[in-house]
Structure 1
């Protein structure tokens, strides 16, 4: 079993909560106190057999030992503390472990405060650019000055000429009133332009995507009840992937009363939508240019949305998500059901191990896309039947991260750009490529990273290709289980590619690809140095 980050600190907290000494707990578990001490300091793994003993002897819920969102909290804290705002303060990894496991709610509150600061700062910067370069602002300012001049001029005429005829005075007063009304309207528009339409967004800086992402991490990207419900329904229609599409359409219509139809693709149109006629009859309409894997996934997701509606609602209620995040979470959970339906847990894990986690073979076997297979691999967390712990992310050519999950323990930055040396960047511009590297962080931890270059399905000739990349990876201890480790020397750290998480958190002073100065040494940008060649395998 791979060493899950922070389990040692969690075990230490459990022992202290039960008022047990290391000697006593070691005796209960049948191990030596020195070995227990190494487990608590993450120098030895907390194995499945020891977890089962903890569950049997002390009545510990095994779910207490899922990494949850603590890895993500620690990574976000490290990244936040790299901000110049904190003057170079940098807690050690051990201090962060203790802090996150002891007071996770305070850590979350700190991160919410930091997000508010970051968002406010970004809004101020955007507003500065907006004010400095907007033609509208220039025109509005001119209009305001013109109206002010007019109001002032006619007001002075009224003030200096008290003997004006009544009709003339009335005419000038009407001009002044009309000018002030126009001035008020212009100023209101100008204020709306300056303040923007997102005041509520500024007050609530936590986005629905972040809310759902944290919910996902807290549950370790695993929802066993949804898995079992999907497996049961899949068993009813058979696991053979051949002719699955007509079976799904039949199931959706017969059990849930939803017809299925296709329509010609329209530029910018949705991939699928649900329509209802006046009588309330529903039809799921799919674009006719969708890949077969996308068609099947859309049908399975709609089935999951209905078959597991009650359970999905319960999960969302228990999570305490914001109102804006709830429909997004419902979509994510329905998609989780679809993945579990198309790739049943036991069968998928068996094939994954037999294929040595060859993602392309898995996608072909189960009739799913490469991205769907990658995402499913990151959900294999069933106690006693765990797969390799994977991290997973999707990134576009501009470096924007659309999906992220730190299951392996690899920190994936949230507030800044990912280290440019990660192989996922190059893959985003090379559709069809597969590249494997061993990435080593400055703390010595190493990860196998496999990057897949992708092109948006259905992009026609001369259409923007929407190139992006997927990255799937694991800790070096598990890398030998993956087919992608072939040709890589996993035993010699000098062959690993030195990387960071993000530039401000990187201790490496010899990197020629640094975009920002490191805050760890308080140094300015170091002189460029020749980048160490990346050991890798490359095909396609």
Structure 2
């Protein structure tokens, strides 16, 4: 599997096969066999390749290929591709020999999907908008009036001058009102009235891809956050006063408690005032303050990462900036070395870590996924967050668990069982069709509205690791991790699942269809 990657790296550096073979101390024919996966790649050769090609050893991992293959499998599970089902071997060849083509295809698919979703949202908006309904009714009424009086003028040529002038005035007035109404309607549809309707899903996916290629870890930003944490000088005053003090001096930012009518933190044009909404939870207030510190004091590190990402549009760069600011804020509140040491000592007890670092359980989980510093790593975690409708709003596949991008997740995952049970920490050993097993912890969160009449926000969250690492977690204590009878057989999505006996199947398995013809093409009872 690594042969094609070595060939791409060699060609990218303008090296002939014979020249690289000389540098490695092997024959050109042997290197040719390695590049075609006909010979294994030994550790000494891998180290030499890393040195002579000037790449990190991480570049030789198969994580990127596995992610591309997984994403392609998801795409081809869509109804659009029902009659096009490439085999696993064909996907392997495509991913290994044409990764840029695969990335381009996925980008095109996501843009197409985003456009279709935008059109659906636009249709819903047009059909349900009170303003559009009233405005379209007004336009029709004015059109009817102008047409009626114009017909009177046309059909009655013998009208008296005074009557004709009166009808002409009505037509002119109606036409002016109609013009004004149409201009307002066009401004609404093309301007702020529709702002935010056309979604940024494709842009968000591009940022997520970048984060995943970086293993959701940004060492320069982590180290800058550790420096800033030292500069805060907590002492006996505590975290919140230290954050306020640092914002005031040296950053020169005043924090004020409330701006009437606002629903989110607001900064003025120069960033000299940070206005916070009343009623925010203490951990959310601290996160907002940390974001503001990072936004100013780690601007160089953030901009450097954005340049490394090579992102295209301004929208994607803005989303990436927001993501990195959030990452830096978490790193400031939970500095790498201190947080990792405490996490290992507490055996990844989420509640205890939340209390120790004055953050929420969700913030703890997201931080746990980013402990990837070489030589000082934590357990590898996946993390996801869904709403009550099953929409995925956060996803990190750090443990290797394939979390779908384009469809709903398997209903057997325990994340679905915790909605409405905020005090419950639900554990599960999930067994996938390929034989891999994951230890999963799920819990629910509920955020009340900030004022009367505002709806509550409900999410279900899950974090987990490979079963082999579960003994490191306090949540596995007392469980028989070797007893496969307690494992939950599950899948990723229905279309990619080979389990024939699942009573919760919502869609046909395209894998089974490909293997059995039409058998298994309908959902189980």
Report TM bin, short chain: 0.7 to 0.9
User: What TM-score results when the alignment is normalised by the length of structure 1?
Assistant: 0.76
CA-to-aligned-CA distance 1:401-449 (integer Å, 9 cap, x gap): 2221111222222222222221112223211211111112223222211
Distance 1:167 1:267 in 2: 54
Match of 1:91 in 2: 86
- Quick check: 1:436–1:451 contact (8 Å CA) kept in 2? yes
Range with bigger deviation, 184-193 or 402-411 = 184-193
- Quick check: 1:290–1:458 contact (8 Å CA) kept in 2? no
Per-residue deviation, 1:356: 2.7
Match of 1:496 in 2: 487
Per-residue deviation, 1:379: 0.7
Per-residue deviation, 1:187: 5.9
Range with bigger deviation, 441-450 or 129-138 = 129-138
Per-residue deviation, 1:349: 2.4
Q: 1:287–1:167: structure 2 CA closer, same or farther, 3 Å change rule?
A: closer
Secondary structure of the 2:506 match is: coil
Match of 2:324 in 1: 333
Match of 1:269 in 2: 263
Match of 1:527 in 2: 524
Match of 2:507 in 1: 516
- Quick check: 1:82–1:519 contact (8 Å CA) kept in 2? yes
The answer on 1:305 being equivalent to 2:302 is no
Match of 2:306 in 1: 316
Distance 1:48 1:469 in 2: 43
- Quick check: 1:449–1:471 contact (8 Å CA) kept in 2? yes
Match of 1:294 in 2: 284
Corresponding residue to 1:248 among 220, 243, 247? 243
Q: Which runs of 5+ in 2 are unaligned?
A: 11-15, 514-519
Q: 1:289–1:218: structure 2 CA closer, same or farther, 3 Å change rule?
A: same
Distance 1:94 1:73 in 2: 14
Range with bigger deviation, 391-400 or 130-139 = 130-139
Match of 1:3 in 2: none
Q: Which runs of 5+ in 1 are unaligned?
A: 1-8, 529-540
Distance 1:51 1:502 in 2: 36
Range with bigger deviation, 80-89 or 252-261 = 252-261
Range with bigger deviation, 476-485 or 415-424 = 476-485
Question: With CA pairs under 8 Å and 6+ residues apart, which has the higher RCO, 1 or 2?
Answer: 1
Per-residue deviation, 1:394: 2.0
Distance 1:202 1:462 in 2: 24
CA-to-aligned-CA distance 1:151-175 (integer Å, 9 cap, x gap): 5554454445445455544444444
Secondary structure of the 1:80 match is: helix
Q: 1:11–1:407: structure 2 CA closer, same or farther, 3 Å change rule?
A: farther
CA-to-aligned-CA distance 1:442-475 (integer Å, 9 cap, x gap): 2322221111222338979998553322211122
Secondary structure of the 2:106 match is: helix
Corresponding residue to 2:358 among 334, 359, 367? 367
The answer on 1:77 being equivalent to 2:105 is no
Count of matched residue positions in the alignment of Structure 1 and Structure 2: 502
Secondary structure of the 1:393 match is: strand
